[in-house]
Chain A
Amino acid sequence: MLVLALDTSTPAVTAGLVRDGVTVAERVETDARKHGELLMPAVQAVCAEAGVALRELDAVVVGAGPGPFTGLRVGMVTAAALGDALGIPVHGVCSLDAIAAAVVADGPLTGNLLVVTDARRREVYWAAYEAEGARLSGPTVESPDALRERLPGLRLVAAAGTMADGFGLPVHEATPSPAGLVAVAPLHSAPGPLEPLYLRRPDAVPPGERKRVAR
């Protein structure tokens, strides 16, 4: 089974081809402001490197966040459109789960894992995982200080993700990898609706009373 895996939930723009669980080509380029420019050329590059055409794909897996919204949507809509045009299923997965899966695949942990990424506005997205990779808690968005207060209860032995530093834990893998994304996708079930994990409402407020122009 040939799967295209995409993730734009962090500053890394990731595209990879995974055949039967093995990564055959991968591109990771990091520029938080260029997801839209970098993603499709990366998809084309991995296809060229692996010598496959898009129509040979069997499925698309995409990181559904949480992540900064504008970049996140690039991966989501690209996956949705590719899946639609090619007539293949698109699986949205939690991007933090993909990071955890890659860490766990590297070797067993002796305790729980924290995955933390940048939510901007001095907040982080985080989730906690058991040693085998099952999610215990999250995904949540809050301040690093609020997260720190929860640490004693989470029995953590390691951290991963772009904001993993600063929690006093050994640090692993930073961004979602193609293999990690595919590992957490339910490839043999029908995909659910493709919903981004925004975790925040749009910060717009209805206007109050109009101010007078004349005094």
Chain B
Amino acid sequence: MTIVLGIETSCDETGVGIVRMPDSGVPELLANEIASSVEEHARFGGVVPEVASRAHLQAMVPAVHRALTTAGLTGRDVDAVAVTAGPGLAGALLVGVAAAKAYAAAWDVPLYGVNHLAAHVAVDTVQHGPLPPALALLVSGGHSSILAVPDLAGPVTPLGSTIDDAAGEAFDKVARLLGLPFPGGPWIDKAAREGDRNAIRFPRGLTGPRDAKHDFSFSGLKTAVARYVESLDGDVPVADVAASFQEAVTDVLTLKAVRAAQEFGMDTVLLGGGVAANSRLREMAEERCTAAGLTLRVPRPGLCTDNGAMVAALGAHLVHTGAQPSDLGIPANSSMPVTDVLV
């Protein structure tokens, strides 16, 4: 039995999670505390790295305290510290990595510097148990990736990713165009419920026969929405635009995820990242996976957005499989490749 504390600071959420890893190898969630600086970024229309980094410094120690209190533990109970070493915002990652090293050294326990994307996959095991080999679709404000994950603690194979904007970024930009607040995802989702998703046929990026099969592009879609809105000269049908835009994004995401799962012989599709909280994406992924005979796994929204529990969960799997801990000289790596699960 191992207690792992996980720290996540790759973007604008300071997350500290704690999991208990029994000998069975299925981690159990004990705490998942999050301090978000999202409101400080709202007026800038996007995450400002320096604002996020300052907030991490202020929030770090209190978040660790809250997590330990929630779990009913003290620092002496922690057996390992895991931290997101990358990818993410360099200055933001550095706060979490430095804190994790200090906690690991002071508690005299091993440190595991882990990959943020692999952690998004691993977190599902605290809710749904052991994960068979899976095709992961990770979509957030910073990432849009299709990954083959044969084994949680082993190497991940990147199959495709966005060539321009991340899906969540497209939601933010379209929300701004429609006069909706930041972050755009939840607002588009809400507005879309009142709209007709077939009202406007927006383009589906990279779905032509000669396009990169597993890559995404959302920049053209964003421009198409902007052109459409401008063509109206006021009086924008916000609900219809939101629904039609959301339909275009989820159509491409789910089509490519299902196709990749079939091509690589995976029976399970895992959906993760902040955009996985989108209700239409969850609904369409479920429909298409069922139709294709695939099992869909989606962690609950609080585990999809960035959090410390996912880092603790991946750390716990690494401890369980006997992975070599990281040394205290590891860097924060803003462009850490997804093939590296652990530094």
Q: Which residues of A contact B (CB under 8 A)?
A: 34-41, 43-44, 54-55, 69-70, 73-74, 76-82, 84-86, 196, 198, 202-207, 210, 212-214
Contacts and interface: CB of A to CB of B under 8 A. Distances in A.
A74 B94 contact: yes
6 contacts: A37-B331, A40-B102, A41-B328, A74-B94, A77-B57, A204-B48
Given A36-B94, A38-B329, A214-B231, A69 B106 contact: no
A81 B96 CA distance: 10
Nearest to A84: B61
Interface string B169-196: 0000000110000000000000000000
Given A77-B60, A80-B61, 13 more contacts: A36-B98, A39-B98, A43-B105, A69-B50, A69-B91, A73-B57, A73-B91, A77-B99, A78-B98, A78-B102, A80-B57, A81-B60, A213-B226
Contact of A196 (B57, B100, B105, B223): B57
A171 to B, nearest CB: 31
Interface string B216-257: 000000010011001100000000000000000000000000
What's the dominant secondary structure at chain B's contact region?
Answer: helix
B44 A204 contact: yes
A77 B7 CA distance: 13
B54 interface: yes
Contacts of A207: 44-45
Nearest to B75: A85
Contact of B99 (A70, A80, A196): A80
Given A202-B48, A204-B51, A81 B230 contact: no
B90 interface: yes
Contacts of B60: 77, 80-81
Contact of B64 (A40, A84, A202, A212): A84
A85 B90 contact: no
A202 to B, nearest CB: 4
B305 interface: no
Contact of B97 (A34, A36, A205): A36
Interface residues on B, range: 35 or more
B212 interface: no
A212 B231 CA distance: 10
Contacts of B97: 36
B103 interface: yes
B45 A40 contact: no
A203 to B, nearest CB: 7
Interface centre among B45, B102, B226 (most CB of A within 10 A): B102
Contact of A36 (B56, B65, B332): B332
Contacts of A37: 329-331
Contacts of B108: 54
B281 interface: no
Contacts of B105: 40, 43-44, 54, 82
Nearest to A215: B230
Interface string B245-288: 00000000000000000000000000000000000000000000
B101 A78 contact: yes
